[in-house]
């Protein structure tokens, strides 16, 4: 689809937005329904973790969070030092998360009104903060509700031609096709068994040291010899089962969605977008979305293939999105700091949600090294547009739980999120120690990760709130934003990297995965800042404020304890 006409329409608007960039910003991620109630309901602090109905597909699960509630708590968010908030979809939807739209042209009544949404945008901009809206272009609500098919209530996509119908037989009615459920686009069990055999025989390698397959499992994105049944065209035409998978080859669907994106950005003065399920959209649709938006788009790309990840990004030789959520290192992070199994090797999820005997940093370090060092993957500027995170609303467990409430390990992980190259993203409630997680004892699936906030009282004196506040202040004081990063050393127990900053020169970050009980023990990191070229100037730890030169020995940094360290050269700590 040619975008010449669209480009002319955007003209001045795109130019006005072009100076803003998410690169260098820090982001607080809010589930609208679970963050803050408003009005008289704000007095009701009863804990709520209702689940949506995914058996009969009736949705629901609303706990009472609103857009006005977010406005009332902006002091709380800004107090941690965040530049932006990212909110879940606000369109009229089937369920409380908003990812199953019923009418894309209306605001979900449970959340408020169009005026409330505009007011949120305005209040953020008055604080020089930015607003990121989550949008869904891949699908609508489930097409089968309570065992019946009814498209008439879906706006504007109310005709069967608006939806993909992969593998529908000639003698099937649309209703029969939907109720029988189309088969999945690939067979992960068969592919994973084959992958395991190839790995064992040495015919194929996978794991954190392999750029095209950083996890030994067949995900969308691992296409070709290693996972042969996964064909790109198949998972863009009906991967998510019962959800109404939109057909982007339909001119009405494509045109309507692009117009809607443009108008949402304009009508609500949005600063950026987060694009849900980006890998399930037609590849040639992504650059059209990016262009028509006129603002940066962060795509959700749940892949473990660095080459495939890079292929989704805009670059000199290709069109694509300007940003992505950075899943390859995220998949390594829970094991690195806390020894937690977020997934399952070769598709075996029987141990998912349990812990290894020991944590291991090598996987995270390897993936980061591959991502940072190879021009085959992400271009230099694109690295600044990768969203880094330790947990989210989908992935099995919150940080507090998977680190077993160990404050030392949680702090190590948070330092990585806030100081590694990219855009740091914090999932709401981390600062209050929310510990939602999936597991055999929890029957609500992903909704276990989406608990309410109001019962916490929005305390600003928790250690987590103050630590995050400190990290955001450090970012601003040192000018930690865009700029180079280098992995200096990785071992099973340690990770050392450096960042180039605009105000403090090169800073060195020293992390480990020791437990709370060993916090006061020393930790040796090699190399240290002075190795190879001599040590000059006075070095301080930005987190403790203490001088560190006395701990530099024989090219190593022999830290006096196991707390995370952020070392810089200067006269004092800002």
3-state secondary structure of 259: helix
Given a contact cutoff of 8 angstroms between Cβ atoms, the answer to whether 194 and 208 are in contact is no
3-state secondary structure 374-419: CCCCCCCHHHHHEEECCCCCCCCECHHHHCCCCHHHHHHHHHHHHH
Dihedral of alpha carbons 272, 277, 281, 283, sign: positive
**Which of 251, 268, 244, 249 has its CA nearest to residue 91?**
268
Pairing mode, strands 556-559 and 523-525:
antiparallel
528 sits in which H/E element: none
Q: What is the pLDDT of residues 313-327, one digit of tens each?
A: 988 778 999 999 999
**Which of 253, 260, 310, 242 has its CA nearest to residue 282?**
253
CB count, 10 Å around CB of 486?
16
DSSP state of 60: B
CATH code for the part of the protein at 4-147+248-478 = 3.20.20.80
Residues catalogued as catalytic = 276, 300
Q: Dig out the tokens for 558 from the structure.
A: 């022999």
Residue 571, φ and ψ in degrees, nearest 5: -95, -30
Residues of the chain with pLDDT under 50: 1-17
CA distance 330 to 195: 22
Residue 274 labeled ligand binder = yes
Q: For position 179, what pLDDT does the model report?
A: 86
CA distance 448 to 415: 25
CA distance 535 to 556: 11
Question: Strand runs (DSSP E) across 180-310, as ranges?
Answer: 243-245, 272-275, 296-299
Residue 450 labeled ligand binder = yes
Q: For position 360, what pLDDT does the model report?
A: 98
Q: What is the pLDDT of residues 374-400, one digit of tens each?
A: 666 677 678 999 999 999 999 999 999
Given a contact cutoff of 8 angstroms between Cβ atoms, the answer to whether 264 and 270 are in contact is yes
Residue 194 labeled ligand binder = no
CATH number for 486-569: choose from 1.10.10, 3.30.1490, 2.60.40, 2.40.10: 2.60.40
Return the domain boundaries, the chain.
4-147+248-478, 486-569
């Amino acid at each position: 689809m040619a975008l010449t006409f669209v480009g002319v329409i955007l003209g001045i608007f795109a130019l006005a937005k072009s100076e803003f960039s998410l690169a260098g910003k820090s982001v607080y991620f809010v589930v609208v329904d679970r963050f803050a109630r408003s009005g008289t309901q704000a007095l009701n602090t009863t804990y709520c973790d209702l689940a949506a109905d995914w058996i009969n597909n009736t949705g629901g699960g609303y706990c009472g969070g609103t857009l006005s509630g977010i406005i009332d708590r902006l002091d709380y968010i800004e107090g941690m030092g965040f530049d932006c908030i990212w909110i879940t979809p606000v369109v009229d939807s089937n369920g409380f998360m908003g990812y199953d739209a019923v009418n894309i042209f209306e605001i979900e009544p449970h959340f408020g009104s169009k005026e409330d949404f505009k007011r949120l945008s305005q209040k953020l901009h008055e604080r020089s903060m930015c607003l990121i809206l989550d949008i869904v272009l891949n699908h609508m609500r489930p097409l089968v509700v309570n065992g019946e098919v009814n498209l008439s209530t879906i706006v504007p996509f109310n005709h069967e031609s608006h939806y993909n119908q992969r593998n529908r037989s000639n003698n099937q009615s649309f209703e029969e096709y939907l109720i029988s459920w189309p088969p999945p686009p690939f067979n992960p069990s068969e592919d994973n068994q084959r992958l395991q055999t190839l790995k064992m025989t040495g015919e194929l390698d996978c794991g954190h040291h392999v750029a095209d397959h950083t996890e030994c499992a067949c995900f969308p994105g691992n296409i070709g010899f290693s996972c042969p049944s996964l064909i790109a065209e198949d998972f863009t035409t009906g991967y998510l089962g019962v959800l109404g998978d939109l057909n982007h080859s339909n001119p009405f669907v494509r045109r309507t969605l692009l117009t809607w994106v443009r108008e949402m950005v304009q009508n609500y003065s949005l600063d950026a977008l987060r694009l849900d399920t980006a890998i399930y959209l037609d590849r040639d649709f992504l650059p059209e979305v990016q262009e028509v938006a006129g603002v940066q788009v962060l795509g959700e790309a749940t892949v473990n293939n660095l080459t495939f990840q890079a292929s989704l990004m805009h670059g000199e030789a290709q069109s694509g999105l300007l940003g992505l959520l950075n899943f390859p290192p995220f998949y390594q992070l829970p094991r690195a700091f806390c020894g937690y199994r977020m997934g399952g090797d070769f598709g075996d999820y029987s141990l998912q949600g349990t812990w290894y005997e020991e944590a291991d940093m090598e996987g995270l370090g390897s993936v980061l090294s591959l991502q940072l060092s190879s021009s085959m993957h992400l271009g230099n500027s694109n690295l600044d547009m990768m969203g880094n995170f330790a947990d989210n609303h989908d992935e099995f467990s919150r940080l507090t739980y998977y680190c077993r409430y160990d404050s030392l390990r949680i702090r190590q992980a948070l330092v990585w999120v806030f100081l590694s190259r990219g855009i740091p993203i914090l999932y709401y409630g981390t600062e209050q120690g929310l510990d939602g997680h999936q597991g055999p004892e929890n029957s609500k699936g992903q909704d276990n990760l989406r608990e309410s906030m109001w019962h916490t009282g929005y305390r600003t004196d928790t250690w987590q709130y103050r630590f995050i506040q400190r990290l955001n202040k450090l970012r601003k004081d040192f000018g930690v934003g865009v700029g180079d990063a280098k992995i200096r050393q990785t071992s099973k127990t340690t990770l050392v990297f450096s960042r180039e900053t605009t105000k403090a020169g090169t800073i060195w970050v020293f992390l480990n995965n020791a437990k709370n009980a060993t916090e006061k023990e020393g930790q040796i990191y090699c190399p240290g800042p002075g190795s190879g070229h001599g040590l000059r100037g006075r070095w301080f730890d930005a987190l403790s404020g203490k001088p560190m030169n006395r701990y530099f020995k024989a090219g190593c940094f022999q830290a006096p304890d196991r707390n995370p360290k952020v070392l810089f050269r200067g006269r004092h700590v800002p």
